[in-house]
Amino acid sequence: MIIVPEREIGGLLTREAAFEAVERVFAAMAAGEAYNFPVVREAIGHEDALYGFKGGFDRSGLTLGLKAGGYWPHNLAQRGEINHQSTVFLFDADTGKAQAMVGGNLLTALRTAAASAVSIRHLAREDAQVLGMIGAGHQAAFQLRAALEQRAFKKVIGWNLHPEMLGTLESVAEEAGAPFEAVGLDGMGEADVIISITSSFDAILGADQVSPGTHLACMGTDTKGKQEVEAGLLARATVFTDEVAQAVSIGEAQHAVAKGLISEGDVHQL
């Protein structure tokens, strides 16, 4: 079995490679060649942590694997470690034998950023000029870097519950030559593309704070109960996802479906 420690991932995986991999697997899923297994995600009753497994199989490349890990909310403050921790395991699809154990933290960050970037590449308006960011935690900078490569954005605007954390996003935007402005949530109406990347269990973005034609990539909701945008906003939108079953059970669409504002049939497979 091959073991690839976390420290090696930065030298092996680029944003471009992550984008291409995610794009390929989304295409395989749309063709019925790849699928995810049901997610297992539970509170362990220790350190307020959430722990679980996400797995899947891609027949087109005979790729079988899972990611084990979760969210330890006190890591950064108490230990100087990032709150999200994960490890990826790969298996031989013919025999079931373990093939690799791979550090999953940077891998997850690049993959998550690539997913929203793929959505922007294929679904956002070609003339999009203003990129909005909701959230400024560890993952937000990855999302911003990947998104800035998809359109010729002329400006980045950002909101965070703790605005003093927005400096990292400002630095990333300026590296790409885009001015940055901290705004209130009402200021998100200026954005042509909005990425939300938070761990919120309460809706942050309201339906009246988003302009018609805006592309939203809601990336933070991955657990039952989490929510980043008002359910009514999804009722106004055309909703796309890579995995419908997960989108309506643990993803952002769960609340709009539960309230009867949309049905599972209104959520489109990419």
> pLDDT, tens digit, for every residue of 202-249?
999 999 999 999 999 999 999 899 999 999 999 999 999 999 999 999
Query: Got the DSSP string for the chain?
Result: -EEE-HHHHTTT--HHHHHHHHHHHHHHHHTTSEEEPPPEEEE-SSTT-EEEEEEEEETTTTEEEEEEEEE-TTHHHHHSS-SEEEEEEEEETTT--EEEEEE-HHHHHHHHHHHHHHHHHHHS-TT--EEEEE--STTHHHHHHHHHTTS--SEEEEE-SSGGGGHHHHHHHHHTT--EEE--GGGGGG-SEEEE----SS--B-GGGS-TT-EEEE-S--STT--SB-HHHHHHS-EEES-HHHHHHTSTTHHHHHTTSS-GGGEEE-
Mean pLDDT computed over every residue of the chain: 97
User: Which residue intervals of the chain bear CATH 3.40.50.720?
Assistant: 125-269
Share of the chain above pLDDT 70, in %: 100
Confidence of residue 255 (pLDDT cuts 50, 70, 90): very high
Task: Quote the CATH superfamily of domain 125-269.
Answer: NAD(P)-binding Rossmann-like Domain (3.40.50.720)
Average the pLDDT over 188-196 and give the result: 99
When pLDDT is cut at 50, 70 and 90, the band that residue 186 belongs to is: very high
pLDDT in tens, 116-136: 999 999 999 999 999 999 999
pLDDT per residue as tens digits for the range 21-43: 999 999 999 999 999 999 999 99
67 is catalytic: yes
pTM over 0.85: yes
The whole-number pLDDT of residue 173 equals: 98
Q: What is the homologous superfamily of the domain 2-107 according to CATH?
A: ornithine cyclodeaminase, domain 1 (3.30.1780.10)
**pLDDT (mean) for 172-199:** 98
pLDDT of residue 270: 86
Catalytic-labelled residue, pool 54, 67, 97, 259: 67
Q: Where along the chain do the CATH 3.30.1780.10 domains lie?
A: 2-107
